[in-house]
Amino acid sequence: MVEAMEHSSERLHYLSLALDARLAIKALRQTLPSETTAAELRESVRAALDSLKAASRGGAVYAGLGDLEPYENFEQIYMLQEVASSVDSTSLMQQLQGLLETGKATPEAKTTALKFFAEVERRALHYYSDPSLSEQSG
Amino acid sequence: MVEIRDHLRHELAALLATIDSIAVPCVSPTARYAYTPASEKFRQHIEELWRKTQTYLENFPPTDEEIDKTEEDYQSPPEELQEIKYGWKELHPYITPVIQADTLHQPTSLLDSLTNRFRQIDEFRDTVFTVFHTEKFNYLHLFPNEIARVTDKLGKLVRAKPFPPLGLIGVPSSQSSSLFLNCLIAHEMAHYAASRRKFRTFILGEAQTSLQLQGDKCPSGDRFSVLSYRLAQWAEELFCDL
């Protein structure tokens, strides 16, 4: 039972991450460069940035994590590390930091953030559909 | 471009039909059965989510976004449609079982008594528990944080209300009137409290420290992370037994 529960829980964690990324993408698409970004988008960016900073500090995957929803479970932060290692994470963090501090989505920051959240969504959906995590395949 | 639009229309029609068939037990429950207030709350939420999803899909894609109508974008269903489908797929196993667990088919008095006791804890004064029948011969709680978050985010996407604060507990369908076995419901309620209070995140640090105290036997790298996570999971099981 624990095994089955664990797999269901992991799948939900990935789906939650994918949905969060989709909401961030939608909010980014609706934001014009002159507008202040929506509070929910800022929360998504803040959670991603804090988690990226925690992950870039090294150490155990879970170290330094707390209330950083949606990146608070093992598989979520592990996947974030994967995404961070596939891009220039220093530049990514700078762009996200800028977006957060100014509250404005410059074209460059918007493109970087869109690429980041699209990659988070793509990987989260991939892992959600992974048959090895499925409770009952077939 | 016409082919692409047809393809999207086909995907949307299939998704609408799937969601309709999932939600139907909540939309038109049999009138002769009575439900606890918690089950009714769950039913009403699913009904509202279904209506909002229908409206959203009927107007898909949203006009207030920059949607790239390039051929590549529509070769497979857009990610958003996949997420809506997966969200409903995750709700699917619990919808009919909640409706089947009417007041005659669940340990209502025991559940009321345990819930009243549970609500004596300060931050859980308003908590209610919905019981659903499971085909497994075991009791289980449905990850309240996880399912609530997924449902909340699905709700945000289709502009529905957030998931109400309720726990979902599964009881074996054959044991709905068994008093002593149903005392296991208290264990599942403890999982709800543990999940809301982020017990596992807290205990994980303790688990890591315990593993590190093993010296040379302490695993390293990913294995250390996986093992400490597993240890924290078992600590949660023990906590819920107390």
Domains of chain A plus CATH, in order, are 2-137 (1.20.120)
Asked whether residue B43 falls in the same domain as residue B157, the answer is yes
Q: Which of B90, B147, B153 sits opposite A23 (nearest CB)?
A: B153
**What is the count of structural domains for chain B?**
2
In this prediction, residue A63 carries a pLDDT of 46
CB under 8 Å to B140, separation ≥6 — which residues?
A1, A5, B134, B169, B170, B188
- The sign of the torsion formed by the CA atoms of B145, B151, B152, B153 equals positive
**Sheet containing strand B166-172, strands side by side:** B128-134, B166-172, B140-142
Tens-digit pLDDT profile for residues A14-28: 999 999 999 998 888
List of chain A residues whose C-beta atoms are within 8 Å of the C-beta of residue B78? none
Domain identity same for B14 and B119: yes
Task: Tell if the pTM clears 0.80, that is, is over it.
Answer: no
Write the CA distances from B201 to A74, A79, B105, integer angstroms.
10, 17, 36
Same domain, B81 and B138: yes
Whether residues B29 and B135 fall in one domain: yes
A70 neighbourhood in chain B, CB within 8 Å: 149
Is residue B91 domain-shared with residue B68, that is, in the same domain?
A: yes
Owner of token pair 């974030």: A80
Position with higher pLDDT, A114 vs B100: A114
Q: At what angle do helices B79-100 and B37-58 cross, to 10 degrees?
A: 150
What is the model's pLDDT at position A4? 43
Least confident stretch, A58-62, A92-96, B98-102: A58-62
Q: Which domain holds residue B153?
A: 2-196
Q: Is residue B155 domain-shared with residue B216, that is, in the same domain? A: no
pLDDT for A120 beyond 80: yes
Task: Judge if B176 and B230 occupy the same domain.
Answer: no
**pLDDT of B75 above 70:** no
List the single best residue of B73, B86, B228 to mutate versus A (max A Cβ within 10 A). Answer: B86
State which H helix or E strand residue B171 sits in.
strand B166-172
Mean pLDDT, chain B, whole residue set: 79
DSSP A104: B
Residue B189 shares a structural domain with residue B223: no
What is the rounded distance in angstroms from the CA atom of residue B166 to the CA atom of residue B52? 21
In this structure, chain A runs to a length of 138
Neighbours of B113 (CB within 10 A): 11
For residues B219 and B149, state if they share a domain: no
- Has residue A42 got a pLDDT over 80? yes
Per-residue pLDDT for B50 more than 80?
yes
| One domain, residues B216 and B186 | no
